[in-house]
């Protein structure tokens, strides 16, 4: 409903305030998070965002928590693994030319460079439906890897389709929230992909996540959402509800936030985690539930590697 805009995020926070809601999972995207936080701070709304925006949590907004980790945290772990596996020495980072793309893509490009891969950035106008000119520019530069992490899923599918049709035979990476599904959609099938690596914001084939999805289906009578953020947001809901229980109220955001800071984040599925964020954001309000690294190597899908994230 926010239309991925700051105005929509602000309107959403005002709606929650008008309904007496003081804890929420979300907002999701960077622009809506930007608009949401000032109203949430004024209204006393605790919120867990999975956004990759540069200052997704900050001491200025102490009721905001981070539902996962951003590239600055897991990039130095995942990028060297991918580079070692696939052997690329150059990468082109693709992103829409707004805050949702530029915040994370600039950080990613810097980390690829630090890992020894020459990184360039290529931006496109959000709302673009024809990626053939972009595919042509990519083919002209012929990078060893194309990184699509901050490209929305629908755009990723179109871009991958047109890139493969143009003859690209390098590695495709998605160290962001989109996961494998939109890449497969663009290729036509997983069998049509050769070398791919991607971040899983939660390790999708881990037994704990599979159990979560089974429980969802049993309770709701339908399959769990395919959105890769589903486990992240479900775990955030577990943590928030635990905080509300410990605070003894769902009507006082300050008390809920205080309870959250004083407890160990727990999930019935993923066990105990910790808090981090002081180094990157100046405030320890980012959970450390582990992400995963998925790979297709020479056409064979590998088991997801679970990546442990240290607390601070």
Give the separation between CA 248 and CA 244, rounded to whole angstroms.
6
| In a shared domain, residues 82 and 194 | yes
For residue 152, tell me if it sits in a domain. Answer: yes
| In a shared domain, residues 298 and 158 | yes
For residue 223, tell me if it sits in a domain. Answer: no
- Cis before 55 (ω within 30): no
| In a shared domain, residues 156 and 302 | yes
| In a shared domain, residues 154 and 142 | yes
Give the separation between CA 58 and CA 95, rounded to whole angstroms.
24
| In a shared domain, residues 182 and 296 | yes
For residue 190, tell me if it sits in a domain. Answer: yes
| In a shared domain, residues 125 and 246 | no
| In a shared domain, residues 159 and 100 | yes
| In a shared domain, residues 146 and 188 | yes
Tell me how crowded residue 222 is: count the other CB atoms within 10 A of its CB: 8
For residue 52, tell me if it sits in a domain. Answer: yes
For residue 237, tell me if it sits in a domain. Answer: yes
| In a shared domain, residues 190 and 302 | yes
For residue 84, tell me if it sits in a domain. Answer: yes
For residue 138, tell me if it sits in a domain. Answer: yes
The reported pLDDT for the residue numbered 177 is 64
| In a shared domain, residues 115 and 246 | no
CATH number of the domain to which 37 belongs? 3.40.50.2300
| In a shared domain, residues 104 and 159 | yes
Each residue's pLDDT tens digit, 186-209: 999 999 999 999 999 999 889 999
How many structural domains are present in the chain?
A: 2
Burial class, 185, CB count within 10 angstroms (exposed 0-12 / middle 13-18 / buried 19+): middle
For residue 117, tell me if it sits in a domain. Answer: yes
Domain ranges, residue 23: 6-68+228-272
Give the separation between CA 127 and CA 120, rounded to whole angstroms.
22
| In a shared domain, residues 82 and 132 | yes
Give the separation between CA 242 and CA 266, rounded to whole angstroms.
8
The reported pLDDT for the residue numbered 250 is 98
In the predicted model, residues of the chain with pLDDT beneath 50 are none
């Amino acid at each position: 409903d926010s239309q991925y805009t700051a105005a929509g995020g602000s309107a959403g926070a005002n709606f929650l305030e008008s309904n007496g809601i003081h804890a929420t999972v979300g907002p999701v995207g960077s622009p809506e998070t930007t608009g949401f936080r000032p109203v949430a701070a004024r209204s006393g709304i605790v919120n867990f965002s999975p956004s990759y925006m540069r200052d997704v949590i900050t001491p200025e907004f102490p009721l905001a928590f981070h539902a996962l980790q951003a590239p600055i945290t897991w990039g130095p772990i995942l990028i060297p693994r991918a580079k070692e596996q696939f052997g690329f020495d150059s990468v082109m980072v693709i992103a829409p030319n707004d805050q949702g793309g530029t915040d994370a893509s600039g950080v990613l490009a810097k980390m690829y460079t630090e890992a020894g891969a020459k990184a360039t950035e290529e931006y496109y106008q959000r709302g673009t439906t024809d990626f053939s000119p972009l595919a042509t520019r990519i083919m002209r530069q012929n990078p060893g890897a194309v990184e699509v992490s901050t490209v929305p899923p629908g755009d990723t599918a179109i871009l991958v389709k047109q890139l493969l049709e143009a003859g690209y035979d390098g590695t495709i990476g998605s160290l962001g929230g989109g996961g494998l599904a939109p890449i497969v959609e663009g290729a036509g099938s997983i069998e049509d992909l050769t070398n791919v690596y991607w971040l899983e914001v939660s390790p999708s084939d881990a037994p704990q996540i599979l159990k979560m999805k089974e429980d969802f289906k049993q309770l709701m009578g339908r399959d769990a959402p395919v959105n890769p953020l589903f486990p992240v947001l479900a775990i955030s809901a577990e943590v928030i509800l635990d905080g509300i229980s410990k605070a003894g109220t769902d009507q006082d955001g300050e008390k809920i936030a205080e309870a959250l800071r004083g407890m160990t984040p727990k999930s019935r599925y993923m066990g105990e985690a910790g808090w981090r964020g002081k180094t990157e954001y100046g405030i320890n309000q980012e959970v450390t539930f582990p992400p995963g690294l998925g790979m297709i190597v020479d056409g064979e899908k590998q088991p997801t590697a679970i990546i442990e994230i240290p607390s601070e």
